[in-house]
Amino acid sequence: MKSYPITIKPFGERAILVEWPNQVEESILADILDFMDAFKELGLPGWEMSVAYNSLTMVCNQEHLDFETIKKLVLDCHSRQAASKTKRIQYLWRIPVCYDLEFGIDLEEASQTLKLSPDELIQEHTAHQYVVYGIGFLPGFMYLGGLPTGLEIPRRAEPRLQVAKGSVGLAGKQTGVYPQDSPGGWNIIGNCPVELFNPKAEEPCFVKVGDKIQFQKISRAEYDLHKIEGEVGIYKPEKTVLNA
Amino acid sequence: MLKVLKSGFFMTVQDLGRFGHRDIGVPISGAMDMDSVKKANLLLENDPNAAVLEITMQGPTLQFEEPTAICLSGAHISATLNNAPIENYQVVQVSKGDILSYGRLENGFRGYLAIKDGFQTPKVLGSRSQFIPVTKKKHIKDGEEIPYTKTDSYAPIISEVKIEDHFLGEELEVFKGPEFSLLSDQQLAAIFSKPFTVSKENNRMAYQLKELIPGHGHSMLTSGTLPGTIQFTPAGRLIILMKDGQTTGGYPRILQLSEAAINTLAQKKLGDTLSFKLL
């Protein structure tokens, strides 16, 4: 596994920012995740880390940091991580989406802009696996990479004040699911009946950074069924192990 | 139970915050002005994480259904217990049926009500701090009841201290943020030479500042943000993220408030002025 050069910057009194080369690449993400595993193995209390594309924000909740000390620790850890390999399990999650026009309020307009039929757009959107490069912005919001260029479409000129929970959108190089009602400027092409963030669940967010997502077209009847399954707590998202 | 006869403008339960879930996009939340909360909990000999009420701008009317002891801190909102004035940082014994009410906002923006052993609302993901969609409700409404444990008599070690308010100054201490080096001399001069005004877009998520500075055309990959991160939009607006702020963002993070500066900013309201001092 390739190891990349990193830079480390102070980020206020309790955090540092570790940055990898400024690109969206699976091999960079893998290097970040390897580093996180190696750092966790050190067993230092009070640290929390969050990944976004090529960077890792590391926050220490316990005490104020001595930047030079932690910088050295991070560099040592990064240079040694090749040796300490905890095997991560990564999953491919199949996320059901109903693309009916009732939910996909921008599907027709987006199809026209992209010079596709709505069916072709749906087919293209469901044909690819998207890498989860980060979770943030809203609880359970996934930053997905790997959208085919044929689906790249500008944000809407005016954001909507309210986009419905579960809405699946396209914007620039991104696609994703709004995990809750939220203002937003993405082009909405469908709705996902699955709770991507559930604070009552043992794992509030079942998807992890480094996993992959593939959207699956479902009918309105299946949508309703999954909704009910979710409400009574028996919905199990379909997953396959990627790196067994 | 504490009976909320009137909830005021915006009141929430807060503790130190919700740690360990930033990796799934859950903000830290917790009291905006932690300094005031820590002092009040200390006077009541509470656990530092004991939950308090955060009272924004306009106070509630509250009735205690069991005896306890309370301590107010933060903004001064002319509080009275059964119509007798009570001061901040004073441990006050409360009897069954007592009514706490508030009047005019004298200074600051967020007042705190700490109670012996803390409010006992359910914890979600390790914290009582209210934040949708982690907690069901965004804030406390009229008629709600907030649980606490009864304390018949409490003899505090210290019953009252005179504390100078930490939030009266305008100056906010800042560190360089990760994208500080993107700033031009002109932008630096604009940030550090003049005061800014708090705009009407100010809440627990973020404070936007009214004055624009010369904008920019930098784009960056989304990356982590913290309470106190100052984001710089292409239009030249400064947005200071606060306790309920998003965990990631795509605008350059030019500056980072010190924790003391976050506590100070938490007590600023629409129209207040502030200035930045680089540490």
Taking only the tens place, the pLDDT of each residue in A39-83 is 999 999 889 999 999 999 999 987 778 899 999 999 999 988 765
Count how many domains chain A has.
Answer: 2
Residue A85 inside a domain? The answer is: no
Q: Per the CB < 8 Å rule, is A199 touching B222?
A: no
Q: Are residues A38 and A114 in the same domain?
A: no
- If one compares A1 and A171, the residue with the highest pLDDT of the two is A171
Residues comprising chain B, all counted: 279
Q: Residues 226-255, chain B: which have Cβ within 8 Å of A? A: 226, 228-229, 246-249, 253
- Rounded Cα distance between A150 and A147, Å, is 8
Q: Are B62 and B43 in contact (CB under 8 A)?
A: no
Q: Are A190 and A107 in contact (CB under 8 A)?
A: yes
Q: Which residues contact A64 (CB under 8 A, 6 or more apart)?
A: A13, A14
Structure tokens belonging to residue A149: 């260029």
Residue A101 has a pLDDT of 96
The CATH number that applies at residue A155 is 2.40.100.10
Residue B89 has a pLDDT of 96
Q: Are A182 and A138 in contact (CB under 8 A)?
A: yes
8-state DSSP, B238: E
Taking only the tens place, the pLDDT of each residue in A96-132 is 999 999 999 999 999 999 999 999 999 999 999 999 9
For A51, the 3-state DSSP assignment is: strand
Closest partner residue to B224 (CB to CB) among A14, A55, A180 is A55
Say if residue A201 is exposed, middle or buried (CB neighbours under 10 Å; 0-12, 13-18, 19+).
exposed
* Nearest partner of B80 among B92, B68, B96, B69, judged by Cα: B92
Which one of A11, A53, A181 makes the best mutation probe of the B interface by having the most chain B beta carbons within 10 Å? A11
Residue A121 inside a domain? The answer is: yes
The CATH number that applies at residue A34 is 3.30.1360.40
Q: Are residues A171 and A103 in the same domain?
A: yes
| Domain span holding position A69 | 7-80
- Rounded Cα distance between B90 and B162, Å, is 9
Residue A86 has pLDDT above 80, yes or no: no
Q: Are residues A52 and A119 in the same domain?
A: no
Nearest CA in chain B to A204: B24
Predicted model pTM: 0.94
Q: Are B47 and B175 in contact (CB under 8 A)?
A: no
Q: Are residues A115 and A142 in the same domain?
A: yes
For chain B, domains (ranges, CATH) are: 2-146 (no CATH), 171-278 (2.40.100.10)
Say if residue A177 is exposed, middle or buried (CB neighbours under 10 Å; 0-12, 13-18, 19+).
buried
Q: Give the ipTM.
A: 0.93
Bridge-partner residues for A214, per DSSP?
Answer: A94
Residues comprising chain A, all counted: 244
